[in-house]
Amino acid sequence: MKQLLILSGKGGTGKTTVAAGLIRLSQAPAFADCDVDAPNLHLVISHRTSPETRDYFGLPKALINPEKCVGCDLCRQHCRFGAINVEETYKVDYYKCEGCGVCQFVCPEAAIRMEPAKAGDLMLYQEDHVFSTAQLKMGNGTSGMLVTEVKKQLQKSPLAKDLAIIDGSPGIGCPVIASISGVDLVLVVAEPSLSGISDMIRILATAKKFKTKALVCVNKHDAHSENTHRIATYCQEHNIPFIGKIPYDPMAVSAINQGKTIVDQPCPSGEALKSIYQQTLSYL
């Protein structure tokens, strides 16, 4: 199975819009949304059935038994995250606890235990295609681990045979690194702004670390023609395939507001994406 990953380096570039359009054009039998902090691919890829949902457990959380606690204060002194508070009794702040287990190790009375903690929900849609996604609970920091689980449940499906398209996370952090691992090709959706160029360079460097082939396209290229030219020049100088430009298109906004992709109706952005799709296939 070939895996195509759509990345951007920053949020708001149109990464999910491009990913949804490519899924529609390719009729991909398998796809995933690995932006587990804020998944939204399901908004433009409709489904007839509800997903299979299961709990995702990340790192455990410490729990102090007040009946065993003698108030020695060792747990609070050794907690590097400031997660232990003293009121009438010693308590652990759920959102600050990183699950390292140091407090349990230093407690002389065995008053602390590490409890499994639900960190999010894994969802799997299985119809004539398979769609894997997840939602991380607010305040949890195990997004990279959850992305790995999203990809695992996609790959286990018998429908995941020829091509899988994965909508990644913005940035270059843990969820992006987990997304890149094992994929065949990365398509970077760049934005013609100073921050867009900076973040594009960072995500290309990340892909290079993984020795993963990367392509670049520019969304809303006519918003700043000079910066679009800078992106194309950078790609040429670094031997990175620059495969197309998508114009700013009010009709794209209309399509998305209706829960459609930009290739579901005639529009300039959809036509541009069709050309990008054909070039992407040639690199897969």
Q: What is the pLDDT of residue 127?
A: 86
Q: What is the mean pLDDT of residues 170-191?
A: 94
Q: What is the pLDDT of residue 20?
A: 96
82-98 pLDDT per residue, tens:
999 998 899 999 989 99
* Chain region(s) in the chain for CATH 3.40.50.300: 2-56+125-283
- Provide the mean pLDDT of the chain: 94
What CATH code would you report for 2-56+125-283? Answer: 3.40.50.300
What CATH code would you report for 61-116? Answer: 3.30.70.20
Taking Cα atoms as reference points, which of 98, 186, 182, 184 lies closest to residue 148?
182
* Residue ranges with strand state E in 17-129: 30-33, 52-57, 61-64, 84-86, 90-92, 112-115, 118-126
How does residue 117 score in pLDDT terms, banded at 50, 70 and 90? very high
Contact status, residue 51 vs residue 123, Cβ threshold 8 Å = yes
Q: What is the pLDDT of residue 133?
A: 96
* Chain region(s) in the chain for CATH 3.30.70.20: 61-116
Q: What is the pLDDT of residue 161?
A: 81
How many helices (H) and strands (E) the chain has is answered by 9, 13
Q: What is the pLDDT of residue 57?
A: 93
CA 256 to chain centroid, in Å, comes to 20
Contact status, residue 40 vs residue 234, Cβ threshold 8 Å = no
pTM of the model: 0.90
218-274 pLDDT per residue, tens:
999 999 999 999 999 999 999 999 999 999 999 999 999 998 999 998 999 999 999
Tokens standing for 218? 């520019």
Rounded distance between C-alpha atoms, residue 128 and residue 119, angstroms: 29
Q: What is the pLDDT of residue 47?
A: 82
Rounded distance between C-alpha atoms, residue 245 and residue 126, angstroms: 33
30-80 pLDDT per residue, tens:
999 999 999 999 989 878 889 999 999 988 999 999 999 999 999 999 999
Report whether pLDDT(9) > 90. Answer: no
